[in-house]
Chains A and B, each alone.
Chain A
Amino acid sequence: AQSVTQPDIHITVSEGASLELRCNYSYGATPYLFWYVQSPGQGLQLLLKYFSGDTLVQGIKGFEAEFKRSQSSFNLRKPSVHWSDAAEYFCAVGVGGNKLVFGAGTILRVKS
């Protein structure tokens, strides 16, 4: 069955430091992969998505993610974190019928 694993429930980084959020997926076919961000009390905002082509994907707010098929991973990165990046981040894989399967989420805390 399709699944998404986000190994880190919480991550704390200092403002200005780099960030990497991990995501591993299990899916039999070529995956469509996504990262969403959810601020407290808000809905989900799409950060970036991978369908095919270049395995390094650029998104909004300075985020990028790299698809590594050999590792079944799609890790999210940002070179310098801002306090406003504190939120919960969800990785998702697109499955049949255009549905999404989500990971459990990673809560990012930013310390000043």
Chain B
Amino acid sequence: SAVISQKPSRDICQRGTSLTIQCQVDSQVTMMFWYRQQPGQSLTLIATANQGSEATYESGFVIDKFPISRPNLTFSTLTVSNMSPEDSSIYLCSGGDGIGYTFGSGTRLTVV
């Protein structure tokens, strides 16, 4: 299975600023996804990161708030824009080539 590295592992940010999270996979993968895990909650899919094209967002998530890039088959970024305390969550990257994917260790974001 692919190994996924995410950074930063955690950050504390001021409201109104933006944070970019990086996801690096140790091998080329077809699919990459970004999930959000709010405090005490389960995981919710934000979007599918498409290589060379715009990401596909789930209902309730928009590109202006969560712009995503995927320049190649091993790397993706998620930006959390214009942050508010409600954005405090763990953000996880996932990737793989079939159903059932590997997850990164997550980025724990606190917005103050």
Contact = CB atoms under 8 A, between A and B. Distances in A.
Interface of A: 32, 34, 36, 41-46, 49, 51, 90, 94, 97-105
Contacts of A103: 42
Chain B interface bracket (under 10, 10 to 19, 20 to 34, 35 or more): 20 to 34
Contact of B105 (A43, A51, A100, A104): A43
Interface of A is mostly: strand
Contact of A44 (B41, B45, B92): B92
Contact of A102 (B4, B42, B56, B108): B42
Interface in B9-46: 31, 33, 41-45
Interface of B: 1, 4, 6, 31, 33, 41-45, 48, 56, 92, 94, 98-106, 108
B31 A98 contact: yes
Given A44-B103, A102-B44, 8 more contacts: A34-B100, A43-B105, A94-B99, A97-B48, A97-B56, A98-B101, A102-B42, A102-B43
B102 A99 contact: no
